[in-house]
Each structure stands twice: as C-alpha cells, then as structure tokens.
Structure 1
Amino acid sequence: IEGTREVLQVPADYRIGIVPASDTGAVEMAMWTMLGPRPVEMLAWESFGAGWVSDAVRQLRLDAKLHEAPYGALPDLSAVNCDNDVVFTWNGTTSGVRVPDGDWIAAERKGITICDATSAAFAQHLPWDRLDVTTFSWQKVLGGEAAHGMIILSPRAVERLESYPSMLAVEDYLLALDWARSIGGLDALRERANANLAVIERFVAENAWLAFLAQDPATRSNTSVCLTFADPAIADGAAFARAVAKRLEAEGVAWDIGAYRDAPPGLRIWCGATVERADIEALMPWIGWAYRAEIAALAETV
C-alpha cells in the first residue's frame, strides 16, 4: 500500500485499500456503497463505461444522467455537472480513448468522482485533487495478478463512507453477538435452529398433505425450511401456495411465507436461531387451517 502511494504520488491524506475481484470489484464496491445521495452523471464511450452505466440504471436504479459517445470519441465533458456524483473511466480500454486531463472536473464540487483508472494508473497522470474514488487492478499496466484490485479514497470519499454501514447497524450486530454469547454461543444457536426444524418435522409427519422439498433429512436445512403441498387434489400448486400464503398474511400470522419466486411452489419458513420455538409451534396449526380453508374453496369451484 505504501509502495502504491509512493509510486503513484498519492496524497498522504488519501486512503488506499486492497480489494477482491480486480478493478471490477473495486468499482462495484464504490458504486454500491457510495452512490444514491445525489444524482449521478454516468460517462460512457466504450465497453467498461457502458457496464457501469448498466449497473447504475438497471441494478441500482439511480437518478442518472448519461453522457455517451461512440467508440473513438469522447462525450462533451463540459456538460458534466460536478455538483452531482460522476462515474467514468479515465482510459477507455476497449476504445483507445482517454480523457485529456482533469480540468473538466470542478475543483470545488459537491458530488464525488468515481474513476475507473485500471488502464491509466502507472501510465498516465492522475490529478488526485479531482478524483475521490480511484480504482485499478494489479494486472493492467504493471502486469500483476488480475484477481486483486485497489481502491484509493480522498477525504471527501471517506466522509461519504462514514455512514456506510450505519453505526446503528453495527451496534445492532454487536448486540446480536452479545446475545449469542449470553445464550451459550454456537452450540446453543445450532440447538435453537434444530429445535425449530423438529417442530416442523413432527407436523409434516402427522399431515400427509405437506412434505419437505428436501426429502433427505441429512441434507435438510434447519434455517430456510422449504415445504410443498403433496395433496393430489391440488392441480395448480403455485396458485394454491399463493392462496395459503395470502390467507396467512391476512390473518397477521405470517409474512412472505411463500416459496422464493424461482423455487417450486410451496412455503418457506425461517427457523434460524433468532426464532422462538414457541412461535413455530404456534404457526403450524395456522398452516393446517389455511390449507383446509383453501381445499374447501377448491371443492366449491368443482
């Protein structure tokens, strides 16, 4: 890290970190943790810049203004509003076009700049006073191992990061660890999850219309317990499972208990260590009630 600071002439008050997943991991890390408080100006004139645009618009769904240009050209840099956040590649690796300098980035700006400099670092001048987040990999200019990335943060970027994660969230996690220690640690946590699963196993054994998606007990999860309806009278399993879940939610019994959208239709019950066994014991009869109500509703439509 200090070698990087020396060779790249990084200011002393800038933070330097080593991150996984190459330059891509560094850029994604910055975008997903820093963007959102302000609109963002997205610059793209080649493949990698276009990839960051896709992340901002399709994945993060940010309030984004696009500045695009065809391969071989640059967008109008004077049109970039630096009171917004700015994401750009310094050197377009797949088009051979780089920004000429950093003069287009306002020295006095309200937004932060995120610069993918992976094919510029160690070969081109980087004006640190205009760059808040700068990323690159060990691979490109120095020919190192591709798996490792670097991220360089200005004091302004660090200030933006100070609330990510929220200190309330950190304190909440610390309290959770304290609670885990207080009940007996890992063994007690596992025992609680196993006890919750045992409640469901007993209920399934007593009700032939319900089955585990994981049929082998040895591979059955004790946290994310997935169930299917085994009654041959149910023709449309997905519709039936949705109806049961909706009925349970309407009664205030369970929330989001339906199977995950890509999974086979059924129910999914969280049984991790934070769940009380008594709550699982209270839930299962309600599932039986909702099942019988939906079976009765099916009979009325025949």
Structure 2
Amino acid sequence: MTAKPVVKPARPWFSAGPTAKRPGYSTAKLPENLQGRGIRAPEVAERFSYALKLTKDILEVPEDYVLVYTPGSDTGAVEAALWGMLGPRPVTVVAYENFGLTWAADVRDHLKLNPTVVKASWGELPDLSVVDWSTDVVFPWNGTTSGVKVPDGEWIAADREGLSICDATSAAFAQPLPWDKLDVTTFSFQKALGGEAGIGVMVLSPRAVARLDENVPSWPVPKVLRLTGKDGKFDRALADGVVINTASVLTIEDWVDALEWAKSIGGLKTLIARTDANYAALAEWVERTPWIDFLPEREDIRSTTSVCLKFTDDRVSALDEKGQKAFVKRFKALLEGEGAVYDMEPHRNAPPGLRLWCGCTVETADVLAAGSWLEWAFETAVSEIA
C-alpha cells in the first residue's frame, strides 16, 4: 500500500469548468465602484467594450472579425449560432463527445434540419475527410468530455461554401486556432482563463456576419439567442460590447482580471506554453503508471486541457458500469477528504475514469504533486473492492 503523500498541490483545483482561477487571484482585487450600476451606464458599457477588445487582442483574432457576448456560457453561444445562422444550406455535425451529440440533436429535433452526423465513439475522432464543406459544419475543436481534439485545421476547406461553426470552449486560450478556417468560434469565460460561468463569446468572421445579414430563419428565435436587430440584420452594437440581456458586471470585472493577467505574462504564446507544460507533466505520470491510460489512444488527438483517462487495472475493469462509477465516487471522496485534488471525475455521460484540467491557470508543480495523491487514492479504493 502506498503511503499517504505529504506534499499536496498548493492549488488543488482540476475542474473542467469553472476551471482554476489564475495564480494570485483574489476577489478583493476586483473593482467595486461599478457594482450596482446599470449595464447601460457609460462607465459600465466601457468596461464591457474593453473586455471584448482585450479578448480579441489576447486571442490574436483578425481585425475584420467581430466578437459578441451571449447569455448562457458556451452553450448559449453555440445555440445562438445554430438558431440564427442555419437553414440556407444542409448541415453536418461532427460528434465525438457529449456536446457534439447535443448539437446534432438540437439541429435534428428542434430545428428539423435533418443533419448529416459524422460520429465516433468515446476516445476516438471520426474520419474528418468525409465532411462535406458545401454544407454548414458544426463541430467541437476540443471535446471537453472525451479528451479528444482535432489535431489541426487542415481538414477544414479553405474554399468552403458553408460556414464552419466551431465550439472551442476548452481550446480557446490554450491551443492554436486557425482563424482563417473558422467562421463562428464560441467559448465561455469559465474554461481556459478560469472566469465565472454564465457568459459566452462568439467570434464571427465576415462570412458569418454576412450570413446574419442575409438569413431569415424559418423558426422564431428566442430573444436571448437573437443576434439581429429590428431590421433583421446583424446588430452591430453587439460588436461594441452591448449585451443581449442583463449580464453580471462582477463577472465582466472578473474576466478583465483574467485577461489582464494573461496579457501581463506574455499573451497567447505563454498561455499555450503553460498548458502544454501541464499536459506534459500529467502525460509523463500516465506513461509510468500501470493502472491508468489516456481515453484517446491516438497521441495527436489528445486534449491538452481536459485530459480524460481510463482505468486499465483488471480489478476495476471487471466491475460493471455501476460499480466503476461507484469506484470513481470513492476515489473522488478520498482525494477531496484530504483536500488534495478536487473535481477529478469525468463528465456524467462519459465512461468512468478520471479527468483533470491542465489549462494555463493550473500550475505545473500542482500537476506533479497530484500524481502521488492519485496513486494513493487508487490503491486505497481498489483495496476496498469486494
């Protein structure tokens, strides 16, 4: 039996969302002078606009692209794209994890568009060469729930006729994104920079804006998803930071804090490097630990942020699904009871295993310290299997 480790991660937060706050974060550092003000107050509007401009700068988004806020985190941003832009062309949905399957179901069951669904099992990436770029294509860049990412943007046609609609919520700020291949890119505050939940962001190419200007959906679009104004065209005020409905001023200030930290440490290049270092530290531990492995077998498609792992020990794999989920629950309780590693369980619809966030707000030293605690928890939990 492995002895209980002595050194704990200083910041034991490994949730895939909301993710760990930036190092040195404190709510006491957030300005309070605008709390309780209306979101149309000039001072508040300026902060919303500033946060959007800073987001664009940090992500190195092309100048002719526009950014807008949406309610409902990344889910709201993706839904706004589906409800407001789809219809003129056939639709393809790439689904290799929980949310890809969700978007496919929404397009099929709610918008009644009968999409082509290009699917793969958990831990796998579908054959992207079959994607028809004369259609509008909806896909996740990085599957938060499966630990699978697309390796690059080479599979996206440069001369595509349809729009590429990319759910990039666990890739933005952590992995390079080829903006020339992406027409709609969505993410939320609560992922790679550790912001608060509730607000999503859409990055729209000129082609996406043109679709909003030209498309009139055949279904009613709920107000919280509506990106067009009274004239039926894209509401340009949204690109200045105006919000569709009332948003939290405190959440915006929290986001500004994260962005200014990102800028202060070197911007996107540094954020990606920090993520890669965290992933490398966890990958080294996985490679030398006999009872665990990556859920995705292919190295080139493994997520560097939402790292999903599977148990390979016969004692665990012999359990049925209910037993394996109970094992994960016990594993989690052991770690959290010691205050060593929080929120390492997989998504509720994913196969039983572990999931640890390795984005840029996590410290590599904490990833290294987590390994010995995971080993202790495993040996303790597996010894209890009847």
Q: TM-score range by the shorter chain?
A: 0.5 to 0.7
What's the offset of the Cα at 1:163? 2.8
1:153 to 204, 216, 220: 204
Higher strand share: 1
The answer to whether the aligner puts 1:138 opposite 2:198 as a matched pair is no
Q: TM-score, with normalisation over the residues of structure 2?
A: 0.43
Match of 1:90 among 138, 141, 144: 141
Kindly state the Cα deviation for residue 171 of structure 1 after the two structures are TM-superposed. Answer: 5.8
Segments of 5+ residues of structure 1 without an aligned counterpart are 173-302
Q: Which residue of structure 2 lines up, in the alignment, with residue 129 of structure 1? A: 180
Identity of aligned residues (%): 58
| Partner in structure 1 of residue 71 of structure 2 | 20
Equivalent position amino acid for 2:104 in 1: V
The corresponding residue for 1:39 is 90
Counterpart amino acid of residue 88 in structure 1: F
1:170 equivalent to 2:230? Answer: yes
Counterpart CA distance in 2 for 1:165 and 1:86 is: 19
Deviation of 1:5 (Å)? 1.1
CA distance change for structure 1 residues 90 and 171 in 2, over 3 Å: closer, same or farther? closer
> Within the alignment, does 1:110 sit opposite 2:110 as a pair?
no
Aligned mates of 1:158, 1:165 — CA distance in 2: 13
After superposition, the CA RMSD in angstroms is 1.6
Aligned to 2:337: none
Give the partner amino acid of 1:94.
T
Deviations 1:242-290 (A, max 9, x none): xxxxxxxxxxxxxxxxxxxxxxxxxxxxxxxxxxxxxxxxxxxxxxxxx
Judged with a 3 Å threshold, the aligned counterparts in structure 2 of structure 1 residues 102 and 171 are, in CA distance, closer, same or farther, namely closer
- SS for the counterpart of 1:170 is coil
Aligned equivalents of 2:78 and 2:231: distance in 1? 27
Q: Any conservation in 1 of the 2:188–2:197 contact (CA below 8 Å)?
A: yes
Answer whether contact 2:88 2:215 (CA < 8 A) is retained: no
* 2:58 aligned counterpart, secondary structure: helix
Deviation at 1:63, TM superposition (A): 3.4
Alignment deviations for residues 167-219 of structure 1 (CA, whole Å, 9 cap, x no partner): xx9369xxxxxxxxxxxxxxxxxxxxxxxxxxxxxxxxxxxxxxxxxxxxxxx
Per-residue deviation, 1:164: 4.6
How many residues matched?
170
**TM-score, reference length from structure 1:** 0.55
- Alpha-carbon deviation of 1:61? 1.0
Whose relative contact order is higher, 1 or 2, with alpha carbons under 8 Å and at least 6 apart?
2
Residue type at the aligned position of 1:50: L
Q: Give CA-to-partner distance per residue, 1:8-52, whole Å, 9 cap, x none.
A: 100000010111110000000000010010001111011011100
Tell me the residue number matched to 2:326: none
Q: Give the aligned residue type for 1:91.
A: N
Structure 2 unaligned regions, length at least 5 = 1-51, 218-228, 233-386
The list of structure 1 runs, each at least 4 consecutive aligned residues, that deviate by more than 4 angstroms after superposition, is: none
The answer for the alignment partner of 1:57 in structure 2 is: 108
